């Protein structure tokens, strides 16, 4: 009986075994120590299929992913003993954000209607500022360690080198990141690129695998790989610093023997000597560049910040066109320097020469030695009127850092001859199109560039002594002259009047004398005296000197004075007779008497006539 009950007891115990073995368990596991920024897993595992899973609050940790559910089951037969185990796991990937010790409360699951809580986790976050990133998926059969072990800073480091630590503003500087290693790097990735503040950057990293060279530093042989190359153009002067570049590498190191199980050894380690990939974060040195400002003196007005060495080539074709036909002005700037920052040159095109925005063709090569190539501007110009257009020389200035001076390149001045007249405008061909004069700018007129007369300040002619003198002087002068002239006239007219009055007396005197000659029979003297008497009378009467009298004038004057024609005829006849007789002496006595009488009559009648006709 005793034996039988024992057997039953044993059996019943045996029957309980699977029940005991399948008692639900729920545990949480996580590394106890991580670094700030490091990513790590928290795994909750249960041995029974849970009906529900409630994750905990992770507090200071950032959840990157999860919960990711996975399950596995295994059946083991050891010495005929069959064990069956199932495993359900919920995995979180967390990132540590802050230094310190943190607790993660347990998660809960519901299994077969009962709630189970996992253990609490305590994680210490250390301040080692390693910027961890999700490591690239490790190759199968490789295991990764959270931090590098057994790799020193002398084994692998990153160095940033500038080609010129003291460049001019705008001068190209090549920045090279070199990776120095004495270990095998299986993988690398650039984590963070610097912003290159104060620079204009062009990436010139050669594509493909980085070239590896060997260098010996301090007796140690290093493999040097150029990871990245950037051409920088400083945009401002002063001391500029370039932020370091962050990089993550996986370094293959020989794995230390760990007291792991054989299974671990088998699956985790390399079967060929035990290597493992170690994550290592690298940071380059900070580079300081002291940028020199461009000199302010001798800076040409056409300077627009170009630094380097350039040539300017221009061309205008054709040089002779008709109106409204296009002309191309090409302007090529080639050389090395910050060509990308080239500004459109300012060209003062003459008015009536329409210029369109230029067509820009770039042929720019960027390499570690800088930027070189050419940029071409193609201007389309259309002359709208005939004539000759002068395109002034185009100036292009740059700073030559090698010579430390400004250089100005100038194009020749072009003269464009445009023939023909404007015909294309408007439909009515031949209709003259007039334009107002276009004022290009409003400016003052030019100075009077002559030597001019200066007068004493504030001197005024008006009301000056000279003014009054010139005003009053002529009036006085005029008045004086007038008075003088009047008197003169009066005097003169008096003599004439006297002579006029005495004319008959004089004539009679002469005639008396002639009468005496008549008696004595001196005919020549007689006629001479008669002649003189007549002329003298007329001269006195008309106020005309004897020397200026002649016969034609006499008849004219008589006509004016209204003396009858027959009177004039008689007078002239008598005169003629006297003249004739003077040069032909020996005339008879009777004739002389007659002439005497006639002369007397003429004078008497003339006296009458002229007395009534006063002037």
Partner 1 sequence: MKKLVWWLSGLLFLSPLLLKASPEELIRQANEAYVNGQYSYAIELYESVIEQELESHELYYNLGNAYFKENLFGAAILNYERALKLKPSDENSLFNLEVARTRTIDRINPVPLIFYERWWKNFYSKLSVDGWSWMIIFLLLGFLAAMGAFFFSRTRGMKKTAFGVSLIFAVAMVVSLAAVRAQYSNTYKRKDAIVMVPRATAKSSPGEASPDLFVIHEGSKARITSELGEWYEVRLANGNVGWVKKYALEVI
Distance between CA 148 and CA 545 in Å, rounded?
A: 152
Q: How far is the CB of 493 from partner 1 (least distance, A)?
A: 13
472, containing H or E segment: helix 465-520
Q: How far is the CB of 471 from partner 1 (least distance, A)?
A: 6
Residue number with CB closer to partner 1 (57 or 441):
441
DSSP type of residue 423: -
Residue number with CB closer to partner 1 (57 or 437):
437
Q: How far is the CB of 468 from partner 1 (least distance, A)?
A: 10
Residue number with CB closer to partner 1 (272 or 462):
462
Residue number with CB closer to partner 1 (263 or 451):
451
Residue number with CB closer to partner 1 (267 or 481):
481
Residue number with CB closer to partner 1 (473 or 585):
473
Q: How far is the CB of 614 from partner 1 (least distance, A)?
A: 15
Q: How far is the CB of 469 from partner 1 (least distance, A)?
A: 10
Rg, C-alpha atoms of the chain: 68
C-beta neighbour count of 58 within 10 angstroms? 18
For the CA atoms of 169, 170, 172, 177, the dihedral, rounded to the nearest 10 degrees, stands at 70
Q: 371 in helix, strand or coil?
A: strand
Distance between CA 221 and CA 382 in Å, rounded?
A: 68
440, containing H or E segment: none
Q: Which residues bind partner 1 (CB under 8 A)?
A: 442-458, 460-462, 467, 470-471, 474-475, 478, 481-482, 485
Q: How far is the CB of 165 from partner 1 (least distance, A)?
A: 43
Residue number with CB closer to partner 1 (79 or 442):
442
DSSP type of residue 599: H
Q: How far is the CB of 483 from partner 1 (least distance, A)?
A: 11
DSSP type of residue 544: -
For the CA atoms of 132, 138, 143, 149, the dihedral, rounded to the nearest 10 degrees, stands at -40
Residue number with CB closer to partner 1 (1 or 460):
460
Q: How far is the CB of 381 from partner 1 (least distance, A)?
A: 30
Q: Which pair of tokens denotes residue 330?
A: 């090409």
Q: 239 in helix, strand or coil?
A: strand
Nearest partner of 164 among 258, 75, 232, judged by Cα: 232
C-beta neighbour count of 451 within 10 angstroms? 6
Burial 213-222 (b: 16+ CB within 10 A, else e): eeeeeeeeeb
Q: 219 in helix, strand or coil?
A: coil
Q: How far is the CB of 479 from partner 1 (least distance, A)?
A: 9
Nearest partner of 383 among 334, 455, 320, judged by Cα: 320
Q: How far is the CB of 454 from partner 1 (least distance, A)?
A: 4
Distance between CA 433 and CA 440 in Å, rounded?
A: 20
What phi and psi, each to the nearest 5 degrees, are found at residue 25?
-130, 145
Residue number with CB closer to partner 1 (474 or 559):
474
Residue number with CB closer to partner 1 (20 or 454):
454
Residue pair 602/608 in contact (Cβ under 8 Å)? The answer is no
Distance between CA 523 and CA 585 in Å, rounded?
A: 7
Q: How far is the CB of 452 from partner 1 (least distance, A)?
A: 4
Residue number with CB closer to partner 1 (211 or 448):
448
498, containing H or E segment: helix 465-520
């Amino acid at each position: 009986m005793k034996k039988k009950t024992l057997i039953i007891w044993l059996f019943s115990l045996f029957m309980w075994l699977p029940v005991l073995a399948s008692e639900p368990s729920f545990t949480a596991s996580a590394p106890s120590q991580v670094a700030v920024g490091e990513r790590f897993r928290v795994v909750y595992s249960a041995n029974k299929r849970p009906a529900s899973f409630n994750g905990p609050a992770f507090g200071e940790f950032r959840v990157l992913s999860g919960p990711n559910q996975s399950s596995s089951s295994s059946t083991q037969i050891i010495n005929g003993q069959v064990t069956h185990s199932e495993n359900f796991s919920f995995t979180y990937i967390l990132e540590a954000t802050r230094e310190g010790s943190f607790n993660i409360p347990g998660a809960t699951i519901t299994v077969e209607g009962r709630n189970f809580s996992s253990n609490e986790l305590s994680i210490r976050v250390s301040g080692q500022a390693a910027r961890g990133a999700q490591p690239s998926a490790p190759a199968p059969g490789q295991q990764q360690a959270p931090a590098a072990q057994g790799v020193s800073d002398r084994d692998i480091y990153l160095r940033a080198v500038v080609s010129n630590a003291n460049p001019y503003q705008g001068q190209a500087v090549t920045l090279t990141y070199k990776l120095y290693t004495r270990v095998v790097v299986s993988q690398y990735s650039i984590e963070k690129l610097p912003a290159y503040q104060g620079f204009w950057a062009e990436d010139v990293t050669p594509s493909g695998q980085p070239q590896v060279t060997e260098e010996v530093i301090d007796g140690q042989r290093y493999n040097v790989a150029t990871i990245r190359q950037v051409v920088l153009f400083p945009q401002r002067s002063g001391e500029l610093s370039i932020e370091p570049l962050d990089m993550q590498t996986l370094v293959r190191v020989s794995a230390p023997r760990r007291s792991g199980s054989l299974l671990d050894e088998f699956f985790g380690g390399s079967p060929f000597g035990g290597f493992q990939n170690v994550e290592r974060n690298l940071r380059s040195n900070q580079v300081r560049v002291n940028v020199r400002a461009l000199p302010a003196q001798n800076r040409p007005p056409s300077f627009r910040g170009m630094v380097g060495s350039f040539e300017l080539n221009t061309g205008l074709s054709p040089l002779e066109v008709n109106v409204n036909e296009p002309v191309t002005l090409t302007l090529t700037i080639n050389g090395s320097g910050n060509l990308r920052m080239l500004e459109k040159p300012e060209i003062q095109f003459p008015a009536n020469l329409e210029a369109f925005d230029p067509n820009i063709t770039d042929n720019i090569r960027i390499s570690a030695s800088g930027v070189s190539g050419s940029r071409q501007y193609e201007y389309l110009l259309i002359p709208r009127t005939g004539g000759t257009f002068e395109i002034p020389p185009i100036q292009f200035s740059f700073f030559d850092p090698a010579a430390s001076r400004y250089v100005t390149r100038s194009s020749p001045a072009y003269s464009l001859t445009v023939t023909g007249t404007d015909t294309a405008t408007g439909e009515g061909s031949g209709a003259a199109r007039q334009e107002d004069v276009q004022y290009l700018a409003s400016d003052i007129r030019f100075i009077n560039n002559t030597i001019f007369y200066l007068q004493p300040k504030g001197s005024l002619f008006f009301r000056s002594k000279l003014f009054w003198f010139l005003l009053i002087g002529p009036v006085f002068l005029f008045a004086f002259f007038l008075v003088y002239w009047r008197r003169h006239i009066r005097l003169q007219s008096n003599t004439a009047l006297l002579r006029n009055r005495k004319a008959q007396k004089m004539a009679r005197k002469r005639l008396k004398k002639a009468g005496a000659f008549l008696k004595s029979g001196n005919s020549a003297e007689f006629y001479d005296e008669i002649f003189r008497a007549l002329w003298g009378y007329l001269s006195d009467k008309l106020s005309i000197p004897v020397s200026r009298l002649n016969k034609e004038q006499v008849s004219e004057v008589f006509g004016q004075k209204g003396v009858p024609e027959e009177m004039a005829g008689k007078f002239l006849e008598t005169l003629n007779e006297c003249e004739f007789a003077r040069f032909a002496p020996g005339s008879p006595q009777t004739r002389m008497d007659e002439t005497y009488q006639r002369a007397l009559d003429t004078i008497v009648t003339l006296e009458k006539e002229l007395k009534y006709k006063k002037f």
